[in-house]
Amino acid sequence: MHQPFEEGISMKVFYRKEQTAPAQRASPSAHKPRLVVEDWKAHFAESIELCSFEPATQEQIARAHLPDFVKGVLGGSVANGFGNRDPAVAASMPFTSGSLLAAAEYAVLHRQAVCSPTSGFHHACYSGAGGYCTFNGLMVTALALKDAGLVDRVAILDCDAHYGDGTDSIIRTLGIGWIEHHTQGNTFWNAESAANGAYERWLDAALAKCRGCDVVLYQAGADPHTDDPLGGILTTAQMQTRDRTVFQQLGAVPLVWNLAGGYQVVQGDTDAQRMEPVLALHRQTARLHVEMFG
């Protein structure tokens, strides 16, 4: 039986500046961690605690990927998920996976809900990158926790707008049977498909299976929003309900949530101004975390 969370705690955010790289092409994932953390510090600094961590090792990353692929990306001879060999992106990759891994370890050991401000994971498959995703930090984390004997079962609740095909492919390639993987992008493709309670029924069914796991990795994507150019199924209020439902129904199961996708942009003079619609959605999730677990 899972025990209740400790009360009166701030939201722990596993962030280091090394996990941020310059903006890449159409995806903000390389530099979004910095923008999100700066936004949270501006809006509710007293409610968050920044936590440092060690980067994931090459060996840990290679548990989820073909070792030659990992070596090639980190060494600059193989393209990353953005389709280039930018050394700054390569240098950030161990810190991106390391953030999620450290957050998950903390969640399991301290029985808390915590945050890893990361994205760019679920399209990375065993032998290659794709869709702005280089290394699959979800699978790196799950395998490292299992190898360390910290968990028996891991849940990946992927509420990014898109199908976590890379995650599924790694699970199949490695023959893993101890991961509960639920990816909304494999079920919903437009607002009509999610209407009339279909989304809520899918989420409730997924959460029922997640509750039996030792930790949940929750991709709280901003791209399902109706205004997102690559999403478009949930309103702002529905996304708030999504997050509230996840936090409520998982109860005392150790949980890590991350940022996943989000591609809305508006006119502005700074990156933060241009990304305000996405930052506002991540801010909404963070406020709910503070409200419900703080």
CATH of the domain at 248: 3.40.800.20
pLDDT band at 2 (very low <50, low <70, confident <90, very high): very low
Is residue 93 assigned to a domain?
A: yes
Rounded to the nearest integer, the mean pLDDT of the chain is: 95
Is residue 2 assigned to a domain?
A: no
Is residue 249 assigned to a domain?
A: yes
Is residue 183 assigned to a domain?
A: yes
Digit-coded pLDDT (tens) for 116-146: 999 999 999 999 999 999 999 999 999 999 9
Distance CA(293)–CA(6), nearest Å, equals 8
**Residue type present at position 103:** A
**Residue type present at position 158:** D
Is residue 5 assigned to a domain?
A: no
Distances (CA, A) of 260 to 28, 244, 252, 282: 10, 17, 23, 10
pLDDT of residue 30: 82
Digit-coded pLDDT (tens) for 165-202: 999 999 999 999 999 999 999 999 899 999 999 999 99
* Entry pTM: 0.95
Distance CA(39)–CA(65), nearest Å, equals 33
pLDDT of residue 252: 83
Q: What is the DSSP string of 191-229?
A: TGGGTTTHHHHHHHHHHHHHTTSSEEEEE--STTBTT-T
- When divided into structural domains, the chain yields a total of 1
pLDDT of residue 5: 43
pLDDT band at 28 (very low <50, low <70, confident <90, very high): confident
Instruction: Please classify residue 208 by burial: count the beta carbons closer than 10 Å to its beta carbon, then call 0-12 exposed, 13-18 middle and 19+ buried.
Output: exposed
Structural domain that includes position 135 = 11-293
Is residue 6 assigned to a domain?
A: no
Q: What are phi and psi of 127, to 5 degrees?
A: -110, 5
pLDDT of residue 27: 76
Distance CA(87)–CA(9), nearest Å, equals 37
Output the furthest CA–CA distance in the chain (Å, rounded): 51
pLDDT of residue 9: 62
Digit-coded pLDDT (tens) for 39-97: 999 999 999 999 999 999 999 999 999 999 999 999 999 999 999 999 999 999 999 99
Is residue 272 assigned to a domain?
A: yes
Is residue 4 assigned to a domain?
A: no
Distance CA(238)–CA(88), nearest Å, equals 36
Digit-coded pLDDT (tens) for 211-247: 999 999 999 999 999 999 998 899 999 999 999 999 9
Of the chain, the end-to-end C-alpha distance in Å amounts to 22
